[in-house]
Amino acid sequence: MRPEPAHNKYTMAAPGDVQAPRRYRAGVLVLLPPSETKRGGGEGPPLRLDLLAHPELNPLRAQLLDELVKLAAEPEAARAALGLSTQQHAEVARNAELWTSPTVPALHRYTGVLYDALDVGSLRGATAVRARRRLVVGSALFGLLTADDPVPAYRLSAASALPGRGTLAAAWRPVLEPLLAAVAARELVVDLRSGSYAALARVPGAVTVNVRTAGGAIVSHFNKAHKGRLARVLVSSRAEPTDAAGVAAVARRAGLHVDRRGQALTVVLPPV
């Protein structure tokens, strides 16, 4: 059962109004991918959509939440839709409790290689404040999350195929792309998403990032780790770059080897 709405602590948009939230005044926003693995539990109250930023996304968020809860009542169908094995029954159980399970701030919900390299829990003082302002997460379930948005543990990847629904990209693009365009009109977005998450919505003018070896090969594990390291560099710096060249300069000062071609950056791994 969905909870009753609570007072919204964020500025609500008027119906049909898509605008960059007032809280985005960081100069640069780092758009992170989520992770398949998520920290369980939490100390926050159950999910309240009206406590999340970007209320214009709430209708689709609610639809997807309800679909996941309903799907969880049929574990075999849920595993097939979510690409889970029979040993991952706990992930289905999480989805069954989306409206009632505890929450934590989004930036502390996700785990895995990228988030280990980011290590947001070790940030202190002004750096921690910048992280909360500059880091956002592109989510297949919630669309776009700010660092402090309280969310439950869940399982839904951008490549999931929910019964009776087309692709998640087809669902999200009409509502998420106008929002990201409005954000990008005011802030420089460094897009660290890849693959199916980048397909959920394009970001006009965003700085994109790839990770390659010195020989030009793409590496999956180190791709995530070095994107997490770059995100940490960008929140640790007081600089507010306004273009790709500025982002590259911040990264190079931190010791990363970065090549730039237009709005595309490539982090080049040193030879082993």
d(CA 107, CA 202): 22
**pLDDT tens digits along 105-156:** 999 999 999 999 999 999 999 999 999 999 999 999 999 999 999 999 999 9
CA distance 51 to 49: 5
Task: Report pLDDT digits (tens) over 39-66.
Answer: 999 999 999 999 999 999 999 999 999 9
Q: Is the dihedral of CA 224, 107, 171, 79 positive or negative?
A: positive
Confidence at 272, pLDDT banded by 50, 70, 90: low
Query: What is the distance between the alpha carbons of residues 37 and 57, in angstroms, rounded to a whole number?
Result: 23
pLDDT at 183: 96
With beta carbons less than 8 A apart as the criterion, state whether 138 and 202 touch. Answer: no
* Residue 218: Cβ within 10 Å count: 12
Q: Which pLDDT band holds residue 2 (cuts at 50, 70, 90)?
A: low
State yes or no: pLDDT of 20 exceeds 50: no
- Can you read off the two tokens belonging to residue 127? 């750096």
Instruction: Kindly report, residue by residue over 234-251, the tens digit of the pLDDT.
Output: 999 999 999 999 999 999
Q: Which of 12-21, 34-43, 58-67, 199-208 has the lowest mean pLDDT?
A: 12-21
| CA nearest neighbour of 152 among 5, 47, 8, 71 | 47
pLDDT band of 16, cuts 50, 70, 90: very low
Report pLDDT for 27.
82
Count Cβ atoms within 10 A of the Cβ of residue 12 and give its class: 0-12 exposed, 13-18 middle, 19 or more buried: exposed
Where does residue 112 fall: left (phi above 0), alpha (psi -120 to 50 degrees), or beta otherwise? left
Task: Return the pLDDT at 68.
Answer: 98
- Catalogue the E-assigned strands of 81-182: 104-105, 135-139, 143-146, 150-151
The distance in angstroms from the start CA to the end CA of the chain is 54
What are the pLDDT digits (tens) for 95-105? Answer: 999 999 999 99
